[in-house]
Structure 1
């Protein structure tokens, strides 16, 4: 699915969303909320039969942790490394592909760039069995919550949020699409020793995109020159990605500010303290917790 096809599909889903009640836009599968118009139950069931390839690249991100930004970075990186344009669905989230996901994926040339927001326990087992490379991106939970809040209110296929306070409470309890941020984080924390898994943070990308490109390309087995790293980095800033996505009409939906620390414009002091306590309860002392540099970005 290219940009034009995705824009057509998006318009169709927007029309369907306009005829739905807000409470109809989400459903539960195994206790976790999912958006009905994006990944209905049959999509998730079909993923169980997906067969991975050993040269697949799987990008994994909890919602609003930088997935779409990273897709653009990886496509540019892979094109520089292979000399071939990387064809992907847009966005390449497997749970969006439909009931014929296996057929769609089988027809895609290698190396395939795929993506998901799914909890690692729900990722098709063949990706682990085949030792596909998995690049996992996280973001500090306060900015993730803010971005998720605005995304829900700006995306008609998701139910509008009744209030900031209600969404804040739902995020902390994990009662949001794709489930609990903290459960996702703890599950990946357990896999940090897996040589086929690399965790990066949104904040690391913002701080030094060039260095992040070098580390990610090395993990994926690509050899890039300094000039190639520079070209990828210059074309992959958040502003550049947002501008390039405008042609499909989704730029303002999936790319908002891209800032670190915007949570300070939304959180009350009490909400900030409560999030600090939840983070400490779940991630204090973990490697992922240290990598997120929570004290720098969230206190």
Structure 2
């Protein structure tokens, strides 16, 4: 069986899928069906103009997917569907095959589980990173808020699950180190690195950089309009599911767009937790050149 119950220190359970030792979300499917989807992703049939948003969970992929979609559409209008509809591990191959080109596909899977053709064909990758303290807080609210995880545990116990690499997609630290190594060793592969905090601080500049990478030439007016349309308040309002759908998917008043700020971790981390996290980060990220912003001035 592929179903996996991860139990925290308080006895609360996270429902996941075990794919040959690799953990993913159930996406509200039978575990074996989800496991089969993930196993087949390596053989996914890519197109030459596919763009892949690759990032750890809760790094801002919904936000970046919306921006890229608007850039390709050439208009600052909210997409009528979610990026989850174009997520490799969330959808079946036939659904993804039916999406018109260019496809803006996304995934949180590690390198080993991604389509081989991404690397064989050197397809465009937008790699999104976010400071891990804010990411962890967002991740906790995400897992508690989505019903298929079945989790209702305490913050301090989830904190330990994260540091012990027991959640879906495995270790955040290993994930970002693997991508840092890949980018360093494959300078000819078209990969655009974006930081969530930079997008918060300078959305116009970051959208311009992104458009250049995608080989698009949006007008100055369109860039400003996309920046405005993709502000947190607008995204929160425009991407809200109907109540009937929300009741089936989410717990309480949860939404994918919770706060959209930098530095919220300070409202969650105790002094001791912050010290433990910093020490863990220092150990796991030794030798890394990545620099994260934990607050904005």
**TM-score after normalising by structure 1:** 0.82
Quote the offset at 1:134 in angstroms. 0.5
- Which of 253, 256, 259 aligns to 2:258? It is 256
Aligned pair partner of 1:208 in 198, 202, 207 = 202
Change (3 A) 1:50 1:275: same
Q: Please, what is the CA RMSD of the aligned residues?
A: 2.4
Give the Å deviation of 1:72: 1.2
Structure 1 alignment gaps of length 5 or more = 1-21
Are residues 85 and 163 of structure 1, via their aligned partners in 2, closer, same or farther at CA, if it must alter by over 3 Å?
A: closer
Structure 1: distance between partners of 2:227 and 2:61 = 16
Go from structure 1 to structure 2 and tell me whether the alpha carbon gap of 1:240 and 1:31 turns closer, same or farther (over 3 Å shift): same
Q: Distance in 1 between matches of 2:172 and 2:14?
A: 23
C-alpha distance in 2, partners of 1:118/1:224?
A: 31
User: Which stretch has the larger CA shift, 243-252 or 33-42?
Assistant: 243-252
Residue 118 of structure 2: aligned partner: 127
* Displacement of 1:86: 7.6
**Aligned equivalents of 1:84, 1:244: Cα separation in 2:** 10
Are residue 157 (structure 1) and residue 186 (structure 2) matched? no
Deviation at 1:32, TM superposition (A): 2.6
Kept in 2, the 8 Å contact 1:136–1:199? The answer is yes
1:117 to 86, 93, 108: 108
Distance in 2 between the 1:226 and 1:37 partners? 39
Q: Does 1:198 align with 2:192?
A: yes
Which residue is 1:276 aligned to? 278
Q: Secondary structure at the match of 1:191?
A: helix
Q: 1:256 to 1:116 in 2, by over 3 A?
A: same
Q: Which aligned pairs between 1:56-205 and structure 2 lie closer than 5 A?
A: 56-80=50-74, 90-91=83-84, 92-98=86-92, 101=93, 103-193=94-184, 194=187, 195-205=189-199
State the SS of the aligned residue for 1:96.
Answer: coil
More displaced, 240-249 or 112-121? 240-249
Unaligned residue ranges in structure 2 (runs of 5+): 1-11, 247-252
| 1:231 corresponds to | 225
2:239 equivalent to 1:245: yes
Structure 1 residues 84 and 210, CA gap change in structure 2 (3 angstroms): closer
Q: What is the alpha-carbon distance in structure 1 between the residues aligned to residue 288 and residue 50 of structure 2?
A: 28
Q: Classify 1:86/1:46 alpha carbon distance in 2 versus 1 (closer, same or farther; 3 Å).
A: farther
* Larger mean Cα displacement after TM superposition, 211-220 or 30-39: 30-39
Task: For residue 156 of structure 1, report the CA deviation from its aligned partner.
Answer: 0.7
Q: Deviations over 1:189-208 (max 9, x none)?
A: 11224341111111011001
